[in-house]
Structure 1
Amino acid sequence: MPDSGVDIDLFRRLEQALHRPEVRGSSDAVSALLAEDFREFGSSGTIYDKAMVLEALAQRAPAAASPLPVILDFAAQALAPDIVLVTYRSVRPPHGDDPERAVLRSSIWQHAEGSWLMLFHQGTPVPSRA
Structure 2
Amino acid sequence: MQQTIIELELALLSPEVRCDANVLDELIHADFLEVGATGISFGKPEVLARLPKEKPPVFRVSDMQYRLLSEDLVQLNYRACFKPVNEVDKRYSLRTSLWKCSNGRWQMIYHQGTPCAPFF
TM-score range, shorter chain: 0.7 to 0.9
Maintained 8 Å contact 1:8/1:75: no
Gaps in structure 1 of 5+ consecutive residues: 1-6
Q: Name the CA distance, whole Å, in 2 between partners of 1:95 and 1:50.
A: 23
Using the alignment, how far apart are the partners of 2:85 and 2:6 within structure 1? 23
Q: Specify the structure having the higher radius of gyration (Cα).
A: 1
Tell me the residue number matched to 1:106: 96
- The 8 Å contact of residues 83 and 109 in structure 1, kept in 2 or not, is answered as yes
SS of aligned partner of 1:88: strand
Aligned-residue sequence identity (percent) comes to: 32
Q: Distance in 1 between matches of 2:95 and 2:53?
A: 24
Is 1:42 equivalent to 2:36 in the alignment? yes
Matched, 1:31 2:25: yes
Comparing both structures, which one devotes a greater share of its residues to helix?
2
Name the TM-score, length of structure 2 as normaliser.
0.87
Q: What TM-score do the two structures reach when normalised by structure 1?
A: 0.81
Structure 2 alignment gaps of length 5 or more: none
- The alignment's C-alpha RMSD in Å is 2.1
Structure 1 residue runs of 4+, over 6 Å off?
none
